[in-house]
Amino acid sequence: MRAAVISGKGLLATADLPTPVVGPDEVLIRVAYVGICGSDLHYYQDGAVGAFEVREPLVPGHEMSGTLADGTAVTVHPATFGQCCAGLEEHPHLWPGGAYLGSASTSPHTQGAMQEFLLVRKDQVRVLPDGVPLRRAALAEPLSVGLHAINVAGGVAGKDVLVSGAGPIGQLAALAALREGAASVTLSDVVDGPLERAYAGLTRVNTRAVRLGDESFDVVLECAGVAVATSDALRVVRRRGVVVQVGMLPNVEVGVNVAPLVAKEVQLRGTFRFRDEVDRAVEMLRDPIFDTVITHEFAVDDVVEAFDTAADSQVSGKVVVAL
């Protein structure tokens, strides 16, 4: 079967791999589409994501859609959870251990979805509702991330929401906030390309040109993952408001102005992947509004061009690979 394989920094190619053999409580999925995530780009460009280095050939990808042998359209929850911890019984995504599709965090690596056939546990499979096309269904995983951030915020119904960072995660979080009843949703970035492509029903602001007003939002979902954006989020959120840090900051000390955190009793909360929000995501993807997030599609044999395109946020949103 054809697959995309990362062998190290800058080493990405297609290869022929053996088709997996199905074991007990497993199912084989014929993959249709796989989205390229920021972590996939880091494995390609840097040969690592943080401390997780590519030490053996790695098939990337955890955002996928496909079909079962009987033609049933599906996506998957890409996580297998680790060991339950006291106090975290209801939060399996935070249990230590476990694995995630397309990740070098385990040894051997957990191979991802960018291959013609993907082997997963039966309990990872989510059947798609009628009317959700396979291409759009590849957004289920990143949409789940946005939905989990909204849940961490305590919900957004009736609230004024800012989503900082207009990449695919930010755009999906903004659309999810609209669907979850936010009174208003503003999407901000420092480059024009992502804002121009975003859904026209969002208020779109380039913060290089326009300074957002102090205390303007009840909830801020910070999806950019840069320190200055976190500082700005703490400035623009209202008193006793909530800032959820969605974007990954570097694992080093960074300069963030936390004075507003104290002065306004702001709640700064972290969010990591998601728990079971994928079930809500696949239902939400009935709405064709989410098609605006996907900008490019490439065949798996053009995977290098696909990754290079995905790395340029000015020209691309979500890039999907067809298998």
| Cβ atoms of 142 and 75 closer than 8 Å | no
Q: Classify domain 2-139+285-322 at the CATH superfamily level.
A: Medium-chain alcohol dehydrogenases, catalytic domain (3.90.180.10)
Whether residue 76 contacts residue 124, with contact meaning beta carbons closer than 8 Å, is answered with: yes
Same fold, 2-139+285-322 and 145-270: no
- pLDDT on residue 248: 85
Residue 171 to residue 301: CA distance in whole angstroms:
28
Domain ranges of the chain: 2-139+285-322, 145-270
pLDDT at residue 249, rounded to an integer: 82
Least confident piece of the model among 147-156, 194-203, 244-253: 244-253
pLDDT in tens, 264-294: 999 999 999 999 999 999 999 999 999 999 9
CA gap 16, 59 in Å, rounded: 11
- Alpha carbon of 122 to those of 1, 26, 68, 156: distances in Å? 21, 5, 11, 33
For residue 216, give both structure tokens.
């303007």
Contact in structure between 174 and 198 (CB atoms under 8 Å): yes
- Mean per-residue pLDDT for 201-224? 97
Q: How far is CA 9 from the centre of its chain?
A: 22
Judged against a pLDDT cut of 90, whether residue 208 lies above it is answered with: yes
3-state class (DSSP) for residue 243:
strand
Q: Is the pLDDT of residue 77 over 90?
A: yes
- How many Å is the Cα radius of gyration of the chain? 19
Query: pLDDT digit string (tens) for 304-315?
Result: 999 999 999 999
Residue 51 has pLDDT above 90, yes or no: no
Check if CATH label 3.20.20.140 holds for domain 145-270: no
Q: What is the mean pLDDT of the chain?
A: 96
Residue 232 pLDDT = 98
Residue 159 — pLDDT band, cuts 50, 70, 90?
very high
pTM of the model: 0.95
Q: Nearest 5°: CA angle at 46, between 307 and 50?
A: 115
Over residues 161-195, the pLDDT tens digits come to: 999 999 999 999 999 999 999 999 999 999 999 99
Write down the pLDDT at residue 253: 86
- For residue 34, list its beta bridge partners: 64, 321
How confident is residue 233, by pLDDT bands cut at 50, 70 and 90? very high
Per-residue pLDDT of 85-119, as tens digits, reads 999 999 989 899 899 999 999 999 999 999 999 99
Residue environment code for 253-289, b if the CB has 16+ CB neighbours within 10 A, otherwise e: eeebeeebeeebebbbeebebbbebbebbbebbeeee
